Amino acid sequence: MEPKKRVLVYGYGNPGRQDDGIGNEMVNMIQRWIETHHLTCMQTDSNYQLNIEDAEKISTWDIVVFVDATQETRINEYKFKPVEPSEAQVEFTMHAVSPEYVLHLAQKLFNKSPETYVLAIKGYEFELKEGLTDNAKLNLEQAFQFLTRQLAGWALIKKNLPISMLS
Amino acid sequence: MPKKITIEPVTRVEGHGKVTIQIDDAGQVRESRLHIVEFRGFERFVQGRPYWEAPVLVQRLCGICPVSHHLAAAKALDVIVGAGTGLGLTAVGEKMRRLMHYGQFFQSHVLHFFHLSSPDFLFGIDADPAIRNIIGVAMHHKDLAVQGVMMRKYGQEVIKYTAGKKIHGTGAIPGGINKNLSIEERDILLHGADPLNADKMVEWSVAALEFFKAFHKNNKTLVDTFAEFPSNHLSIVRAADGALDLYNGVLRAVDSEGNRILDDVDCQDYNKYIEEEVRSWSYMKFPYLKHLGKEKGWYRVGPLSRLNTCDFIPTPLAQKEFEEFKAYTNGKPNNMTLHYHWARLIETLHAAEEIRNLLKDPDLQNEDLVIKGEKTHKGVGVIEAPRGTLFHHYEINDNDQITLANLIVSTTNNNEPMNVAVNHTAKSFMNGQKEITEGMMNAVEVAIRAYDPCLSCATHALGKMPLQMTLVNSKNEILDQKTK
């Protein structure tokens, strides 16, 4: 049997800015779910934003799921998509980088290319306030249901067991 | 016909800036302005909140340098709870905060140098943007890029073990700290597996300095003259002897010739000496020294200014570099904008040395974490953030609610100097130009970047900060536009 794939769920944002903390909250929920199901091949992490040192972090995992808030008008609730490495240049005085940038850096510096995805969840309010808006909470719940199904699939696929075992 | 060139990074929520360059009919730059939208709502937001919440609340301000705001707020509240201005804390209280602070400095300076600045040095301002980034560094100088990533990681680890957690850390509280450093945590940071240990961080900091100095040696004209202009400089210095002190001290300012224009005054009295001017075209204020007035009283802050105001650096390797730095200008203040990078790397080395020294100090395992004395209703916390001097001022009522908050952040202190730097650069690179080139765009960026302004803190979600430069005529008709 092939070894289980190791999965990192990495949410980022500032929970002091309302829906900007949606990625952090998802990590809290996924962490509880991982502990409940004793999925030792999975871990979570979170931070205010991605940065260059995250290239080293993701290089040690088989699969990485970044979770972030989005204001993208074409996204209604959430969107799950693979990340393609990008050579996007440094942005002015920006002190944070994108998932595409982190993946590209992991390839160039550490010769690693984990299977990488972004789960972008729609947010609405980003003011100085704790807590998600009601609409963001609804989107988060839907995204959580989706992500746990996805994680369950990754956890069980090598065991050839039904996903329902983790529901 | 006058023309305007606009550089406008558009962010999603707050903290964006744009550069407007006015060109007259002869194609000569008439005036340049850097506009920064600064988020000021925080000062109103904290009013009415219990004072002890401030060190955590302020981290909402900035996801880039939350430690600086966290510590500045805690220092202000030390005064309110009767624990003095920082010197009154217990040994473990002050040293844990310093360790946190040096960790923040280290990772922030490293990010700026390796991620934002080194591509300019390695490939040149006019180089193809496809390689003038850290990916380009990775392709051509892989060891240097890996060092940058691992140094960042080490600094973040220091913060994690001192602040308690990465997001909304609670390490500093009014009157002290809420945790010490365990032996296990100390050993991870001091003797961790290569390269994540204190000795390697010092070694790599020295190497980064050598890299910069080699570049400087081969590019003296650029490094010494790019956006060079005389100015005043302000920072805190150690009260007892004028040493570089990033965490605590008195306010000192010198003019461009080195004359003392603010002579080691108590930070609690900052608003006796510093005023903030409001200008109609910018949301961000313009601080200046009151007694010199608006025209002559503006000053620079940050690494360059700190090395211009202090008398020495209290760690041996950084002191050696400081002596070389001072000798370059014959002991006079250094007014060369790109020398911010040199100063920043000397401070990086100083921070690495301080981290190593503190990790060997047994006081970090003491248990007396907090002290309190007689409560007052006003406290000011001033700290040297990586980008420059940071002021937090709070007043409370008898119900322990915050009634007043005033913050002067580093980027605000550098508002006028950044405008001057942009103006110098525009005149050097854009006079007589009819269209925007990548080199011109980056030249303006390089001038601003030297100050490491934090324009886009706190929020960041997907799809955010393109840099747009637009050339328009007096009727606002677009003549040329570049986006990156």
Residue B27, pLDDT above cutoff 80 = no
Q: Give residue B199's domain range.
A: 89-228+338-361
For residues B34 and B157, membership in a common domain is answered with no
Q: Give residue A118's domain range.
A: 7-158
Asked, for residue A92, whether it belongs to a domain, the answer is: yes
Asked, for residue A167, whether it belongs to a domain, the answer is: no
Please give the share of chain B, as a percent, with pLDDT higher than 70: 86
Widest distance between CA atoms in chain B: 70
Coil, helix or strand at residue A136:
helix
Q: Is B245 in contact with B238 (CB distance < 8 Å)?
A: yes
Kindly tell me the burial class for residue B281, based on how many C-beta atoms sit within 10 Å of its own C-beta (0-12, 13-18, 19 or more).
exposed
pLDDT band at B455 (very low <50, low <70, confident <90, very high): low
pLDDT, tens digit, for every residue of B352-365?
A: 999 999 999 999 99
Residue A98, pLDDT above cutoff 50 = yes
For residues B12 and B105, membership in a common domain is answered with no
Asked, for residue B386, whether it belongs to a domain, the answer is: no
Domain count, chain B: 2
For residue A110, list chain B residues with Cβ-Cβ distance below 8 A: 146
Asked, for residue B222, whether it belongs to a domain, the answer is: yes
For residues B95 and B190, membership in a common domain is answered with yes
Coil, helix or strand at residue A128:
coil
pLDDT band at B430 (very low <50, low <70, confident <90, very high): confident
Per-residue HEC secondary structure of chain B comes to CCEEEEEEECCCCCCCEEEEEEECCCCCEEEEEEEECCCCHHHHHCCCCEHHHHHHHHHHCCCCCHHHHHHHHHHHHHHHCCCCCCCCCCHHHHHHHHHHHHHHHHHHHHHHHHHHHHHHHHHCCCCCCCCCCHHHHHHHCHHHHHHHHHHHHHHHHHHHHHHCCCCCCCCEECCEECCCCCHHHHHHHHHCCCCCCHHHHHHHHHHHHHHHHHHHHHCHHHHHHCCCCCCEEEEEECCCCCEECCCCCEEEEECCCCCEEEEEECHHHHHHHEEEECCCCCCCCEEEEHHHHHHHCCEECCHHHHHHHCCECCCHHHHHHHHHHHHHCCCCCCCCCCHHHHHHHHHHHHHHHHHHHHHCCHHHHCCCCECCCCCCCEEEEEEEECCEEEEEEEEECCCCEEEEEEEECHHHHCHHHHHHHHHHHHHHHCCCCCCCCHHHHHHHHHHHHCCCCCCCCCCCCECCCCEEEEEEECCCCEEEEEEC
From B211, B216, B425, B415, select the one nearest B334 (Cα to Cα): B216
Per-residue pLDDT, averaged over B4-11, amounts to 40
Asked, for residue B123, whether it belongs to a domain, the answer is: yes
A13:B149 CB<8 A? no
Residue B250, pLDDT above cutoff 60 = yes
Task: Retrieve residue B91's tokens.
Answer: 């040994």
Closest partner residue to A15 (CB to CB) among B167, B460, B462 is B167
Per-residue pLDDT, averaged over B68-96, amounts to 90
Per-residue pLDDT, averaged over B174-187, amounts to 96
| Distance between A13 CA and the closest CA of chain B, angstroms | 6
Coil, helix or strand at residue A164:
helix
For residues B203 and B346, membership in a common domain is answered with yes
Residue of B nearest to A55 (CA): B149
Q: Is A144 in contact with A26 (CB distance < 8 Å)?
A: yes
B395 touching chain A per CB within 8 A: no
A residues 13-42 lying closer than 8 A (beta carbon) to B: 13-17, 20, 24
For residues B9 and B146, membership in a common domain is answered with no
- The Cα B139–Cα B452 span in angstroms is 25
Q: Give me the CATH number covering residue A22.
A: 3.40.50.1450
Q: Give me the CATH number covering residue B142.
A: 1.10.645.10
For residue A49, list chain B residues with Cβ-Cβ distance below 8 A: 63-64, 460
Domain count, chain A: 1
A105:B116 CB<8 A? no
For residues B131 and B211, membership in a common domain is answered with yes
Amino acid B7: pLDDT = 42
Please give the share of chain A, as a percent, with pLDDT higher than 90: 62
ipTM tops 0.90 = no
- The Cα B279–Cα A164 span in angstroms is 63
Residue B347, pLDDT above cutoff 90 = yes
Q: Between residues B55 and B343, which one has the greater pLDDT?
A: B343
Per-residue pLDDT, averaged over B175-191, amounts to 97
Amino acid B449: pLDDT = 82
Residue B149, pLDDT above cutoff 90 = yes
Residue B179, pLDDT above cutoff 90 = yes
Asked, for residue B83, whether it belongs to a domain, the answer is: no
A124 touching chain B per CB within 8 A: no
For residues B34 and B113, membership in a common domain is answered with no
Q: Which residue has the tokens 């000569």?
A: B28
A residues 92-111 lying closer than 8 A (beta carbon) to B: 92-98, 101, 104-105, 108-110
B167 touching chain A per CB within 8 A: yes
What is the pTM (predicted TM-score) of this model? 0.89
Asked, for residue A163, whether it belongs to a domain, the answer is: no
Asked, for residue A74, whether it belongs to a domain, the answer is: yes
Residue B289, pLDDT above cutoff 60 = yes
- The Cα B160–Cα B141 span in angstroms is 29
Asked, for residue A106, whether it belongs to a domain, the answer is: yes
Amino acid B47: pLDDT = 87
Please give the share of chain B, as a percent, with pLDDT higher than 90: 58
Amino acid B411: pLDDT = 86
Point out the least confidently predicted range of A27-31, A145-149, B182-186, B465-469.
Answer: B465-469
B residues 33-92 lying closer than 8 A (beta carbon) to A: 41-42, 45, 57, 59-60, 63-64, 66
Asked, for residue B102, whether it belongs to a domain, the answer is: yes
| Distance between B474 CA and the closest CA of chain A, angstroms | 26
For residue B453, list chain A residues with Cβ-Cβ distance below 8 A: 93
For residues B31 and B145, membership in a common domain is answered with no
pLDDT band at A159 (very low <50, low <70, confident <90, very high): low
Residue A92, pLDDT above cutoff 70 = no
Point out the least confidently predicted range of B116-130, B187-201, B318-332, B400-414.
Answer: B116-130
For residues B355 and B438, membership in a common domain is answered with no
